[in-house]
Amino acid sequence: MAKLLGALNHTNGLESTTARGLCPDTVDSPALNSVQTEFLDSMVDSVWTESAVSVGGMKMDPILILLRIVHVLGGVFWAGAILFVVHFLEPAVRDAGPDGATVMQALRKRRYLEAVPVTAFLTLLSGYGLYWRTFGRLHPGLDASGPELAFGLGGLASLLAFVVGVTLLRPSALRIGALGAELARVPAERKAALQEEVGRLRLRMRKSGRWVAVLLSVAILSMAVGRYL
Ligand code: HEM
């Protein structure tokens, strides 16, 4: 493999590919087509290659590695937390009737509604950092390659998911929590109106949750295949 890497480095100028933290097996693949090579080359012309260091004869880029760790961990956590709640927890809580509210309160106490947006923000930040570092701009242009378009589409879908999440999903969940506490205190004649509002908010939460799940699924698919297009 070292021999092949050396040959690739020599012929394609891919020396810095390992500096980007790319898996050496990717570089090792004999099946690299011209588009993939172009993608790897675009990564080589990184804005931050000066942060590369040499470890045991291999070049590494600690900033790239840090960005990728934050990005992949954050993306997995964000998308996983949303998909689990939308597809499993929320329907289960609905089936449980009044007992379901207790589960939602416990989730709230464990700061689910803070952990998800903070992680989402870090995923976006690191994602746009990686995009800028790889393609030298923050969105695809008319001359964009397949990988740039795919990562750009995934980035846009994630951004929209974040906006829908913080403007519709999270406020609805917070309001439902506040109304739940109020319901226990208000006189009987006020209860019906509050319950109606809770019903409306639950519907909004369900709909916006589904949108966020769809947008995040688009992002996951784009990220999964982006580099091979
Ligand atoms: C929930 C949202 C997201 C998830 C789950 C996610 C996941 C991933 C994963 C797993 C990778 C590694 C793919 C590979 O190595 O082939 C990746 C790479 C990448 N992502 Fe995302 N991502 C998300 C959002 C974003 C956003 C908002 C952007 C901003 C444009 C973005 C830009 C990138 C770029 C440019 C790469 C390539 C980085 C590189 O190869 O160095 N991602 N993403």
The CA 71 to ligand 1 mean position distance, Å, reads 7
Q: Return the higher-pLDDT residue of 175 and 17.
A: 175
The CA 154 to ligand 1 mean position distance, Å, reads 8
- Whether 25 contacts 6, CB under 8 Å: no
- Report DSSP state, residue 100: H
Q: Return the higher-pLDDT residue of 43 and 179.
A: 179
Q: How far apart (Å, rounded) are the C-alpha atoms in residues 124 and 220?
A: 13
Nearest-CA residue for ligand 1 atom 35 is 131
The CA 205 to ligand 1 mean position distance, Å, reads 27
Ligand 1 pocket by C-beta < 6 Å: which residues?
68, 71-72, 75, 78-79, 123-124, 127-128, 130-131, 134, 151, 154-155, 158, 216, 219-220, 223, 227
CATH architecture of the domain covering 65-228: Up-down Bundle (1.20)
Q: How far apart (Å, rounded) are the C-alpha atoms in residues 22 and 136?
A: 18
- Whether 153 contacts 115, CB under 8 Å: no
Identify the weakest region by mean pLDDT among 12-16, 122-126, 162-166: 12-16
Phi, psi (5° rounding) for residue 171?
-60, -40
Q: Pairing between strand 53-55 and 58-60? A: antiparallel
pLDDT at residue 31 greater than cutoff 60: no
pTM over 0.85: no
**What is the pLDDT confidence band of residue 49, given thresholds at 50, 70 and 90?**
low
Nearest-CA residue for ligand 1 atom 3 is 75
pLDDT confidence of residue 19: 37
Q: How far apart (Å, rounded) are the C-alpha atoms in residues 16 and 20?
A: 6
As a dihedral over the C-alpha atoms of residue 196, residue 202, residue 205, residue 208, rounded to 10 degrees, the angle is -80
3-class secondary-structure state, position 9: helix
Note the pLDDT tens digit of each residue in 66-123.
999 999 999 999 999 999 999 999 999 888 887 788 888 888 899 999 999 999 999 9
The CA 51 to ligand 1 mean position distance, Å, reads 20
- Whether 208 contacts 172, CB under 8 Å: yes
Note the pLDDT tens digit of each residue in 2-27.
333 333 333 333 334 433 334 444 44
Q: How far apart (Å, rounded) are the C-alpha atoms in residues 69 and 178?
A: 36
- Whether 144 contacts 152, CB under 8 Å: yes
| Whole-Å CA distances, 148 to 5, 8, 51, 226 | 25, 23, 23, 8
Write the DSSP string, 56-95: TTEEE-HHHHHHHHHHHHHHHHHHHHHHHIIIIIHHHHHH
- Please name every residue paired with 53 in a beta bridge, in sequence order, or none if there are none: 60
> Domain boundaries in the chain?
2-60, 65-228
